[in-house]
Every structure is written in C-alpha cells, then in structure tokens.
Homo-oligomer: A and B are copies of this chain.
Amino acid sequence: MGKVVILADQAENDIAKELEETAPTLDALHKLVNEDLKAVNRVILERMESPVVLISQLAGHIIASGGKRLRPMLTLATAKMCGYTGRRHIDLAACVEFIHTATLLHDDVVDESDLRRGNATANAVWGNKPSVLVGDFLFSRAFQLSVADGSLSVLDILASTSAALAEGEVMQLVTSNDTETSEDAYLDVITAKTATLFSAACRLGGLVAEKSSQEQDALASFGLNLGISYQLVDDALDYSAMEKDLGKSIGDDFRDGKITLPILLAFRRGNEFERNFWKRTMEIGEQDEKDFDTALEFITKHNALADSFERARHYGSVAKDALGLFKDSPEKHALKDVVNFCINRSH
C-alpha cells in the first residue's frame, strides 16, 4: 500500500499547502448573518413540530446533523448584500434548508447510507419507511412556508428547483455504475442535484431585496457555479488520501459504484487494463479489499484528483466574477470567501 499512499500524498500535498496559505473559513459569513441565522433556526425548530412525535424526532435528528447551514446562509448573506432590511429572507432561508433536508433524507434511503457526517443516518436509526415519509413532510413544510411568503416569483423558483433536484437524483441513479458516463452528463447531474438549490438560495436574496433581474441573475449564477464547485470538491474528497490520513471515512462512492469526476477522468485516461479494473469494480461491482488502493493509484497516475480540484477552481472563479456587478461590502467579501472555503475545505 506504501506506493499508493505516497503517490496520493504527492497529489494532496499541493492542496494541503494551498489550504495552509489561504485557510479560508466560513467565519466571516457566520459573523455577518449570525443573528439572522438564529432566527432561521427558530423557524426551523418551530415548523418541524408535528403532533406526530416521530416526525419531530426524526426531523430534529436530520436537521441537527445536517451540517453547516450553508444554503440558508447564502440567502441571508445575499439579501444583506443587496441592502434588504425586512424579514422575508428568514422564512425563505428556512424553506431552502427544509428542501435540502428533505433531499438528504431521501438520498440516504436511496444510497442505503448508515452514516452522515459521522452520525447515524435517520434511516439507520428509524428505518427507511419513516425517512421517506418525513422527507415528504419536510418538503410539504417548505411548500407551506413559501406559500406563506406569498410571492409567486418565489414559489416559481422553488417549484422549478424541486423538480430539477428530483430529476438530478434520478439522473444520478441512471448514470450510477456506468463507467462510460460523459463529463457533461456528470456535470448535468451535479448541476441539477446540488447547484440548482445553491442558485435558488442566492437568487432569493436578491428577489426579496427587489433587485433588478440582471442582479438576480448574477446572484443565481454565483450560486450555480458555487454549487457546481462545491459538489466537484465533495466528490473529489471521497478519494482524498489526505482525508484518509485525517482518519476520515473515504471510499464510500467507490464502494457504491457511484461514477464521479475522479473515476470518469481516470477511466477515460486509462489503458485497457485499467478500464477493465473500473468496469469490474464499478459496473459489475466486484470489489476486494485491495481495490480501493488500486483505484487511488490509477486516479493519482492520471492526475484525476488534482484535475477535479482544478475544475472546481474554474467554477469557483466564474462564481466570484458573477459578483462583479455588486459594489464592495463585507457581505461580498464573505461570499467570495465561501467560494474559497468550498474549494479548499477538507470536509
């Protein structure tokens, strides 16, 4: 295994170095939207309540382990950057988080995942059945919250986003295990299943502030490209030897036969022998315990991981440029930092 880790380490060293140099965090963003985020969390807690105790329990579990609230923070920060001083962005941010949480619940059922961010998934604790149904409940709550906001433009954005999310998830299922998936098809999947919600989250900030359609489009473009780079990095981190050194779990996508960019590139750049390896492990699903190390070796050999991060940087640059229309502000800086954070994060 020695050689593999050394090769992988070399590819990772550059990233680790860059990470140390810039060390971007979400701290600035957190600080700017802190009060609003507390209000969002209150709405979330209030609206996930139900007389059916299991709903509140399960929803509480997934919302607590759902992560860093990145998507609602984007709504809060974009609204603030646009000078909005009202309260609509609070409920809409909660709405975005509910949609995200509903998809997480269904994702974990579909992926048969047992762990999310080191915590047991809802389906692991309560089984698939309530996870499917509470996902539906949270989605309906998002629907209710957006209706209560009362703007058809908002509803239109969220309805289209929801349809795109579901389409993206099905697309991912279809391309799963297909080593000949094209990079474009992969991009379509991550755009639909991840980037559209980032995009909607950002557009909503401009919409409540009644910004021009050009400015709203710019925010949507920022979110879309940020979302693509976020998912590219997420998929790459599942093959990151650096993660392995940090004791984090990697290789889930490999074991599931999920075709992501590192595999896609390694397959296309590989020789006949390597392609047969990918077909056996990813398509036929025959894997032994040495295979993941071999996968890392091939990925490193073809620079597939480093190039995945490179692609992420490309979309990150587009995202930052999309903010060019807006004048300098602490929020604009914080939003650019989100891009840096997403690209350089190690988790």
Contacts and interface: CB of A to CB of B under 8 A. Distances in A.
Interface residues of A, number: 43
Interface string A41-77: 0000000001111110000000000000000000000
Residue of A51, A137, A141, A171 with highest tally of chain B CB at under 10 A? A137
B52 A133 contact: no
B54 A137 contact: no
B55 A167 contact: yes
Contact of A160 (B52, B144, B152, B155): B144
A54 B172 CA distance: 11
A189 to B, nearest CB: 10
A170 interface: yes
Given A54-B173, A106-B136, A140-B162, A150 B152 contact: yes
Contact of A147 (B133, B140, B155, B166): B155
A133 B173 contact: yes
Nearest to A136: B166
A169 B136 contact: yes
Contacts of A133: 106, 110, 166, 169-170, 173
Contacts of A141: 163
A115 interface: no
A134 B54 contact: no
A50 B143 CA distance: 22
